[in-house]
Amino acid sequence: MKRRELLAASALGLTLQAGGAKAAEAQKTLKYAFRVAETGFDPIKVTDLYSRIIVGHMLEGLYTYDHLARPVRMKPLTADGMPEVADDFKTWTLRVKPGIFFADDAAFKGKKRELVAEDFVYSWKRVADPANASSSWAELEALGLLGLKEYRDALRKSGAPFDYDKPIEGIRTLDRYTLQLRLADSRPRAIEVFAQTDLYGAVAREVIEAYPGRSMEHPVGTGPFQLKEWRRSSLIVLEKNPNHRERYYRDEVQPAADDAEGQALLARFGARRLPMIDRVEVSIIEEDQPRWLSFLNREFNFIERVAPTYMGVAMPKGKIAPNLAKQGIQGYRRLASDSYYTVFNMADPVVGGYTPDKVALRRAIGLATDVRGEIRLARRGEAIPAQQPYMPYTYGYDEHRESEMGEQDPARAKALLDLYGYIDSDGDGWREMPDGSPLVLRSMTTPDGFQREIDQIWQKGLAAVGLKVDYTVGKWPDNLKTMRSGKFQIWGLAATASLPDGQDTLARFHTSRIGSYNYARFSLPVFDALLDRMSHLPNGPERLGLLAEAARLATAYMPYKYRGHRYITDMAHREVVGYRRPALWVNWWEYVDIVGKEA
């Protein structure tokens, strides 16, 4: 090639590169980091919040919640109207809106694939398939869909594969766009379960069968975004789904008349088609300092859940710091509908069990826990003490309730331990078991600095009453696997509400949830009966009384020590506009816009 041709080719190459760079720069991209790694993207297999966030932006259920409505309001998502309910909440007829299509995938062999009623029937049957070992099965089982549990039990005995074409009385299609659920008993809030679009969103049977064993890495849905790149525990990239139907901001939201912020968002974005951004890049940064610095250095334009360590420099006294405000950084702080708590394995020979001495040990550990010290020191005041299992803004939560959950009382802790024979028999400063054998508490933990602060505060509180605790350090996903297998003694977790009803939290205590969300492996027949009874009742004084009784039993047996409810602060650079933290749901990317950095 002649020199002139080489120069021309080189110039063309530079032009193409520049054009590509400009095109990439022109994309509206939301960039931020999770503090915990994802586990995968199959809705029937994920349990962690961060995987659910990703799934909730790719898959869609029949119902969701109005993004701006407070209090929360359920609305159709892919459904054609709200459910038709009959037979005292035992028959639910649901209709899918025609003209909704999945993202393109090779499994569809070049054809557009419409969402139909059978997709939901198939997706929910997957939860019941014993081969999938879905953590959501217990929740679905509790609804009492006629014939589904019986069929599942028969398969578990025979070992036969699940026949997805077999008619099930309680979950069936009536026509291409209509499905019907039939329940054994009255369930007034059944539809709330299916509004968890990240757990009960529709998948296509062709996709699942085209990629056997790869459902966690190959999600295909009808949602506003689709997966473009995944480097496990490092980077997740999603882009706008070109097949996503026409949806406009004004049709999706209905803020209250006195909600000034919500009304302003509606006025600004009402005519805009969703999603408003093109791309989302999510990195995984487990340590708080590099995550915070990456946001300040503009590697990210959004940071969710600012670590309490940095709240003093980010939003002192709840207001954005002046130096950050000058840069156009925005702050959003609210009391979350969540809880953080300590889990005791009820099957563990040391801390588990239902005899008075075992109950006394757990309650003594709870009374030795410096709940307010943790909030003041490690959390920098960014939480309130928990007094009950229920989360703020959920039905059953009582902001005036006070209980042992929110107390630290070393004197009572010592008295309980002394009374049941946990004494220091060898004079080394540490208490022994009633039979004289060593008493060492063993807790899993994670290696980040924030958790170390919490661990030190807890360790100090226990030492003050003569209890010794050793820590086993591991990555969060690894600890989760260990806990779900039941091979642990103690671990600390947090949970965020995904349903507006407080009974959802109590599922953590139900025998049927052992192996899924009942991490403590707690089993108490009187508690199970209480939960089953309240499931059939409409909301009102009688049901509130049962919720209060359940809270009392939870405190008395203490398989979980609820410690607090967090204030959550999210921050964004000036170009990210329209953000409002969801109350219960996980999807919000479609409601934000990226504008010029000087806007």
Residue-wise pLDDT tens digits, 371-383: 999 999 999 999 9
So what's the pLDDT on residue 317? Answer: 87
Cα separations in angstroms, 435 against 62, 420, 466: 57, 11, 16
Q: How far apart are CA 204 and CA 320, in angstroms?
A: 45
The reported pLDDT for the residue numbered 25 is: 53
Whether 338-567 and 39-223 are alike in CATH topology: the answer is no
Indicate the domain borders of the chain: 39-223, 249-336+568-594, 338-567
- pLDDT value of residue 7: 31
Number of Cβ atoms within 10 Å of the Cβ of 482: 15
Q: Is-cis flag, bond preceding 275, omega within 30? A: yes
Task: Answer whether the bond into residue 71 is a cis peptide, omega within 30°.
Answer: yes
Give whole-number Cα distances, 22 to 18, 93, 145, 209, 281, in Å. Answer: 6, 50, 54, 39, 18
Which tokens go with 504? 């959802």
Classify 24 as helix, strand or coil: helix
What is d(CA 219, CA 227) in angstroms, rounded to the nearest whole number?
7
pLDDT at residue 318 in the model = 87
The Cα 222–Cα 59 span in angstroms is 6
- Weakly modelled stretches of the chain, pLDDT under 50: 1-24, 598-599
Residue 92, strand partner residues: 85, 181
DSSP per position, 349-408: TTT--SSHHHHHHHHHHHHHS-HHHIIIIISTT-EEE--SSSPTTSBT--TT---GGG--
3-state secondary structure of 308: helix
Q: What 3 state SS string does 167-209 have?
A: CECCEEEEECCEEEEEECCCCCCHHHHHCCHHHHCCCCHHHHH
Contacts of 11 (CB under 8 A, 6+ apart): none
> CB–CB of 90/84 below 8 Å?
no
Identity of residue 299: E
| Distance between CA atoms of residues 144 and 186, nearest Å | 9
Task: Tell me which fold the domain 39-223 belongs to.
Answer: Dipeptide-binding Protein; domain 1 (3.90.76)
- Looking at residue 597, what is its pLDDT? 56
Which pLDDT score, from 0 to 100, does residue 515 have? 84
Residues whose CB is less than 8 angstroms from the CB of residue 101 and which lie 6 or more positions away in sequence, other chains included: 112, 113, 114, 115, 222, 243, 245
The predicted pLDDT at position 448 comes to 87
* Contacts of 475 by beta carbon, 8 Å cutoff, 6+ apart: 37, 446, 447
Q: Quick check: helix, strand or coil at residue 32? A: strand
CATH superfamily of 338-567: Dipeptide-binding Protein; Domain 3 (3.10.105.10)
Residues with Cβ < 8 Å from 549, sequence gap 6 or more?
Answer: 530
Select 249-336+568-594's CATH number: 3.40.190, 3.30.420, 3.30.70, 3.30.1330: 3.40.190
Mark 386-412 as b/e (b = at least 16 C-beta within 10 Å).
Answer: bbbbbbbbbbbbeeeeebebbbbebeb
Task: Using alpha carbons, list the distances in angstroms from residue 557 to 172, 330, 343, 353, 552.
Answer: 41, 43, 12, 9, 9
What pLDDT does residue 21 have? Answer: 42
What local confidence, expressed as pLDDT, does residue 10 receive?
36
Rounded Cα distance between 319 and 313, Å, is 10
For residues 471 and 477, the answer to whether their CB atoms sit within 8 Å is no
Residues 6+ apart with CB under 8 A from 328: 573, 574
